[in-house]
Amino acid sequence: MIIHLRIPEGVYLQALADLQRPHPFAFERVGFFSSVLASMGGDQQLVLLNGYHAVPDDHYDDDPEYGAVIGSEAIRTTMQRVLDESRGQFHVHLHHHAGLPRPSRTDRSSLPRIIKSLRTVGPKEASGYMILSDDRAWAEVSLPGSSGPLLAARIAVAGFPLRFLK
Amino acid sequence: MKPSDQGPFSRQSFLGPHSQEYIEQCVVGIAGLGGGGSHIVQQLAHLGFLKFVLFDPDGIEESNLNRLVGATARDVVDKTLKIDIARRMILSIRPQAEVLAFSEPWQARPEFLRRCDLVFGCVDGLDQRRQLEATTRRYLIPLIDIGMDVYEGTPPSVSGQVILSMPGHPCMSCMSFLNDDDLTREAEAYGAAGSRPQVVWPNGFLASAAVGIAVDLVTDWSQSLRGPVYLSYRGNLGMLTQDPFLQHAPKHCSHFDVANVGPPRFRPM
């Protein structure tokens, strides 16, 4: 299975701008993209990330051991969005460097649990998590019916110019 | 000599240090491989584009030979499909290219259109343009539309357009290029239009402009393409100018909401 992600420029820039804002106590911010799944024929699937949702400041937990910890209200709000909009959700955060980002050990241990919660309420949607850097991106995607997460092969931003983040 | 001055693409190294990488990974769709599409295919192959998705249901006819780049007299005898002429053209320039070609209208295989990072619309008629734009918007694909017409008169008037329609930005309806009056007129004349005049040089002119926009979009070499494009072609004067309707287009498209993307589906009320 080959997975492509496509983001409109406005949504991508909105996410970057939000994730770069300082938080009152957390070291970094997180957000969520809404997603829509479509077939590209053969073994290729397209995930369209068509909306960005910032996590409000008061939905973060103050835990100095981690860059950012979001609380149950943030997760509940995101799960509700899956139910209300019949859309998948992608957790997204920013690594402040150029080049291809990779998930940290903390990302690897904590983010799959969030995705599992989202899959519970939206088993027919594509959900996952994405890490942005200054100029590239990395994402893991859970598709309906798939046994485990799959790495996104391509991530593109439709805008001026076209950007190939991966 | 600098390293960038060597190699097969040395003469286009001004496009930027990573330009060839971007060009090679960009999946380009072309709907319609007649007079306009055949020019575009040829230029893209020369530039080094390597991933193509092609759609055209037609085979070549004798009357196409006045403008279909790459076609031969033998193709007319053999009734060669236009996609096969385009594929032959691409592979003769870039043997390593990946070409997915469908001898069907793009509407018959819409899922393969979704693979494209960029689509060129070289289709006939306003309704076909409307359909292609609606679909490319749903899948967040930039669309570059080209077309030409010849209007009766003394002398005849040659005109055309090149439009870049970008998801999230003004569409062809926002730019007033597609409007209800013209679509209705076209629908009323359906079946009575006959064969429309087409010649090679305006197609080449418009195709070259479209390819230039595509290269800028992919490489950002000019660092100045930051919004939609609507160029009007005045063939009798040999001029391509920005259409005034672009200035009057609303900033935000009310016809295609980025929130409504993907396959249409029912939502629970």
User: Mean of the per-residue pLDDT values for chain B?
Assistant: 94
Hey, what are B253's tokens? Answer: 């498209």
pLDDT per residue over B38-49, tens digit each? Answer: 999 999 999 999
Please tell me whether residue B140 adopts helix, strand or coil conformation: coil
Which one of B115, B117, B168 has the shortest CB-CB distance to A44? B115
pLDDT per residue over A95-137, tens digit each? Answer: 999 999 999 999 999 999 999 999 999 999 999 999 999 999 9
pLDDT band at B1 (very low <50, low <70, confident <90, very high): very low
Residue B102 forms contact with A (CB below 8 Å): no
Q: Give how far A11 is from chain B: nearest CA, Å.
A: 9
Residues of chain B positioned with their CB less than 8 A from the CB of A50: 140, 258-259, 261-262
d(CA B126, CA B26): 27
d(CA B242, CA B227): 12
pLDDT band at B188 (very low <50, low <70, confident <90, very high): confident
The yes-or-no verdict on residue B192 having pLDDT over 60 is no
Task: Identify the pLDDT of residue A148.
Answer: 87
CB atoms within 10 A of CB A126: 27
Task: Identify the pLDDT of residue B187.
Answer: 86
* Ramachandran assignment for B169, one of left (phi > 0), alpha (psi -120 to 50 degrees), beta (any other): beta
If you measure CA to CA, which chain A residue comes closest to B139?
A48
pLDDT per residue over A22-68, tens digit each? Answer: 999 999 999 999 999 999 999 999 999 999 999 999 999 999 988 99
Amino acid present at A61: D
The yes-or-no verdict on residue B193 having pLDDT over 50 is no
Task: Identify the pLDDT of residue B265.
Answer: 77
Contact A46 B226 (CB under 8 A): no
Q: Output the DSSP codes for A38-101.
A: EE-STTEEEEEEEEEEEPPGGGEE--TTSS-EE-HHHHHHHHHHHHHHT-EEEEEEE-SSSS--
The yes-or-no verdict on residue A83 having pLDDT over 70 is yes
Q: Give how far B147 is from chain A: nearest CA, Å.
A: 23
The yes-or-no verdict on residue B165 having pLDDT over 70 is yes
Residues of chain A positioned with their CB less than 8 A from the CB of B268: 86
Task: Identify the pLDDT of residue A99.
Answer: 96
Q: Are A164 and A156 in contact (CB under 8 A)?
A: yes
